Structure 1
Amino acid sequence: MALIPDIALRILLSFLGHGLALGSIAVPSIRSQISRSFTFEIRAGTRVARHWRFDAPSRRISTHAGPAKVVDHGLVYASSARALRALISPRAVDLIVHDVLHGKAQLLGSAFVLLWFYGLTRKLIAIGREQCPKTAIPGAYLAPDPGSTGAEKIVVLPAVNELDPKWSNAWNARATLWVIRAATGEPMPEP
């Protein structure tokens, strides 16, 4: 009976592994998140394990079946069934935290890396994401409406190239902005 969850977990981890490896080549949002080099592993018992190697200089992910020699961060479950249940759940984070707190799973390394990895996997499989509305929200503010409440408080002034010399509050505020003063060559106070 434990064979079926083992096979299902192996398939899921293989899909996630190869999907992230390909995503690190083709998907800029995945590539941009690889800023540290480390190894991440998910393991269930002694029969199922997969690890990912994140390489910061090349911004690539490689994956291999089986346990890693050195694990920096990871998640270890006692059974494949519980690991599979947590990983495919729309409430995966809640289940993983519950399992770690109740001793049914062990967290290796940082919990932040686990949450980050979870976010990467959801770029491949959108389980548990909130769907955006398919149509515009009724009554949405899409264009200026002078008759709506609050429109009278929005003042639109034409753009100007320099401040009005009579506007003393604006000149006082400008004097505190070092970026503007330095760019115009004005003397700067010592920091």
Structure 2
Amino acid sequence: MEIHKTDSGQGVPSTDETDPVARTAATTVPSPTSVAATPRPGPRPGPPARRPVPGPPAGPTRTPKPGAQARRGADSLPTLPELQLLPALPEAALDRADEAVDLLLDTGRAPGQILVLTTAEPHPWQQHEQSFGAERYWAQFEAGDDVFYAAAADCRPARREVVVLAVNGGDTGVVQDALAVALARAGSLLIVCGETPLPVQR
């Protein structure tokens, strides 16, 4: 009687290399070593750093012209008043000054805008007002609401729009000093009644 060879256990599949199904399963299952060797993707690189945007180029700087500063300084200087010369002898200078004042009032000048100065003997109006005392006399000067008469040598500092200078006497130095005072007091117009030893410097 012929004896056949049996499997070593029940329910155990055959591992015969000739079985095509078993050979295919063995080749398709990955080994643990191959899985561990697969590299993982690293962190993504961030966006590139932004370079600063250059601003607009600076414009050209303006340099002031050499004469600009000088012109601004000249503009800030006080302007000299207009000058009118009315020839007259010393003894007639006061009358000539009175005529000039009357003409100024007739053409619309306010009385408080006019100051009359003398180089020698005071005007009769001044002599009259000073007879009531110096305080009352100078109070009218401060009020500035009427024509005021004073000696050029001792007139208080103040400006009037129009100054009338009566050259009614005095030597060359006195007249020159009176002219300087009249120029300093006049705002827009200086009228000189009489003869001046030297031309008035403007």
> Structure 2 length normalisation: TM-score?
0.26
Larger Rg: 2
> Structure 1 length normalisation: TM-score?
0.27
